[in-house]
Amino acid sequence: MALLNILQFPDPRLRIKAKPVTQVGDRVREIIRDMLETMYAAPGVGLAATQVNIHERIIVIDVSENHDQPMVFINPLIDTLDANLYSYDEGCLSVPGFYESVERPEHVIVRALDENGQSFELQPQGLLAVCIQHEIDHLNGKLFVDHISALKRNRIRAKLEKQQKSRL
């Protein structure tokens, strides 16, 4: 097991589009174990492989109260079911300390592979639906700050760059 380093905005590596996993084997299961350990330690409710500089389509999520219901999504595909939007105050381990309201489709359907390579389908609700969309954005090189105004995004970037420089 290993704790992985989480990249911070505006690191350009967060913009790399992740490639599909071609074989769900022991190498991928080790990545998943390390991602879950890193997510729980952070702590966060989700983590995309992109955030730990692994550019493969792998997501872990646990939105349960007791942090005992890990979910794994490999090569996730998402469809929007209707035009309803849902607004949620989002944060991100790659944008530490900042929270902004983001609107996303409320009703989506997700298909993915689990850690054994078995396909499954899910119609998530509430925070899980938000989180899955937030994580799939990461795999596509997108961050929640891309959903807010450029003014807010630039302010957040400037503050994080200043913090990052002072920690060198």
**48 vs 145 by CB, closer to ligand GNR:** 48
Question: Which residue type does 42 have?
Answer: A
Q: Is 44 in the site for ligand GNR (CB under 6 A)?
A: yes
Partner interacting with residue 104 (select from Ni ion, ligand GNR, none; CB below 5-8 Å by kind): none
**90 vs 115 by CB, closer to ligand GNR:** 90
* Residue 122 three-state SS: strand
Partner interacting with residue 18 (select from Ni ion, ligand GNR, none; CB below 5-8 Å by kind): none
Quote the least distance from Cβ 88 to ligand GNR, whole Å.
Answer: 6
Q: Who's near 85: CB < 8 A, 6+ residues apart?
A: 103, 104, 105, 106
DSSP result, 38-81? HHHHTT-SEEEGGGGT--BSEEEE---TTS---EEEEEEEEEE-
Quote the least distance from Cβ 103 to ligand GNR, whole Å.
Answer: 12
